[in-house]
Chains A and B, each alone.
Chain A
Amino acid sequence: MTKPDVVVTGLGATTPLGGDVASTWDAMLAGRSGVSKLTQEWADQLTVKIAAQLAVEPSEVIDRVRLRKLDRSEAVALIAAAEAWADAGLADAGLDKERLGVVVGSGIGGAQTLLAQDDILEASGARRVSPHTVPMLMPNGPAAFVGLEYGAQAGVHAPTSACATGAEAVAWGLDMIRSGRADVVIAGGTEAVIHPLPIAGFASMRAMSTRNDDPEKASRPWDKGRDGFVLGEGAGILILERADHAAARGARIYARLAGAGMTSDGYDIVQPHPEGTGAARAIAKALRDADLAKADVVHVNAHATSTPVGDIAEIAALRSALGDHPVLTATKSMTGHLLGAAGALESIATILAIRDSVVPPTINLDDPDDALTMDVAAHKARPLQIAAALNNSFGFGGHNVALLFTRP
């Protein structure tokens, strides 16, 4: 059975670099960092006092009354989805809603709501807990609110695989369309956990950078001085569409979603396999799924979070699955790590790299690790004709997701 072609017809994002895709992409190409010092009083007690916070607050976009019924992760998902929906020209497309699906996940979910309502419970008693608490903290909340907004009736799904969530959502969306369950899928990831408890938890694992006195230099994938990831927040949403459906309505096509590969390490709950074997298998599966050769893939938007072990394990995986030729980048050097939104945001960067024939830079790569034997677009964006590009995402729990996009 031949698989139907699936294309990307709309993009939306709100990130530490900008309130939409265009401003985020401009900032990436300019090599700007979205990381800053946390000025909130609660940050004083933490060992980590930096994060990549949203460039545009949701309150500037969504009215106060609606916002008080939404977790921040739901609000940013709705903002990114609105941009993607409009970008794809779906508002007036007369879509059959029974053929519209949603796959939007979050790595952690409504933790800010959970913690805020627990504060109310402790301070004021059970009766004061908001009746909106459950829809705000449930992990499927962002997907459900997006589905409700656009009347999606083909199925609303919320994968969760930590930092691979956003990419896994895109892979599920591909499956929904290929298996005939939907014509159009709103797919992506969202995360908003810049709060003392999640930060303290990651910090206790020694997973985060403590370069508090130099925030813009803190996220430095593959650099010898890297000391952990920088937490970011935001959302990325893609509109996936069956190619003949997009063609029939004359939609603008950004890229083909040519294939996906998903594996699990079966190795450790948080450590990646040191040789990146699970990641390499995911990439190999994606190549087979997309019917592409190693040589076709000339650019990789790597997972590369700026942790000592993970960055190098990924290099091993890339070399074994693709060879040494692709030009790499790690846009987390600029955005920080958006956890469950990362794979979606980085898919958007991968797609725009194909469209604009340019690899966005990896900033702060001043002193490359000796184990970095591949070519990275360090410091500055690099022009490159890209027929096919890979986006990698890996998550705590041993989740590996590889997505392949090609020029339409």
Chain B
Amino acid sequence: MATREEVVTGLAEILEEVAGVNPDDVSEEKSFTEDLDVDSLSMVEVVVAAEEKFGAKIPDDEVQNLKTVGDAVSFIVANS
């Protein structure tokens, strides 16, 4: 089971690869679209990569609830 810190670090790696986000900018309170400038198609890539990395299934109708990095961390920690 991954800790919250480990999930944040993992998401930061994915965000860097997919959307060119500086890992130092990634923290739990940041919004994917507003703060980190991740577009809707790139968000799909982030979700698929996160599923593989953490072994969590993130349903499509759940993705719209994942506004911030912290939302994603909570879902992944609870479901992986």
Contact = CB atoms under 8 A, between A and B. Distances in A.
Interface stretch (B3-11, B28-36, B41-49, B69-77): B41-49
A135 B44 CA distance: 14
Contacts of A135: 41
B45 A131 contact: yes
Contacts, number: 20
B20 interface: yes
Nearest to A132: B41
A381 B11 CA distance: 57
B20 A130 contact: no
A68 B41 CA distance: 12
A65 interface: yes
Contact of B45 (A63, A64, A66, A130): A130
A131 B41 contact: yes
B20 A64 contact: yes
The interface size bin for chain A is: 10 to 19
Question: For chain B, what secondary structure do more than half of its interface residues adopt (helix, strand, loop), or is it mixed?
Answer: helix
Contacts of B42: 69, 131-132
B20 A128 contact: no
Nearest to B20: A65
A128 B19 contact: no
A128 B48 contact: yes
A132 B19 CA distance: 12
Contact of B48 (A63, A66, A127): A127
Nearest to A133: B41
- Most chain B CB atoms below 10 A, which of A64, A69, A127, A131: A131
Interface in A35-79: 63-66, 68-69
A66 B42 CA distance: 11
Contacts of A68: 18
Nearest to B19: A65
Nearest to A63: B20
Interface in A117-166: 127-128, 130-132, 135
Nearest to B40: A131
Contacts of B41: 69, 131-132, 135
A318 to B, nearest CB: 48
Contacts of B48: 127-128
B5 to A, nearest CB: 25
Nearest to B39: A69
Contacts of B19: 65
B64 to A, nearest CB: 15
Contacts of B18: 65, 68
A63 B21 CA distance: 13
B56 to A, nearest CB: 14
Interface in A378-394: none
Contacts of B44: 131
A66 B37 CA distance: 13
A231 B80 CA distance: 50
Contacts of A130: 45
Contacts of B20: 63-66
Contacts of A131: 41-42, 44-45
A65 B16 CA distance: 9
A131 B48 CA distance: 10
Interface of A: 63-66, 68-69, 127-128, 130-132, 135
7 contacts: A63-B20, A65-B20, A68-B18, A128-B48, A130-B45, A131-B42, A131-B45
Interface of B: 18-20, 41-42, 44-45, 48
7 tightest A-B CB contacts, nearest first: A65-B20, A131-B44, A131-B41, A132-B41, A131-B45, A65-B19, A127-B48
Given A131-B42, A131-B45, A132-B42, 17 more contacts: A63-B20, A64-B20, A65-B18, A65-B19, A65-B20, A66-B20, A68-B18, A69-B41, A69-B42, A127-B48, A128-B48, A130-B45, A131-B41, A131-B44, A132-B41, A132-B45, A135-B41
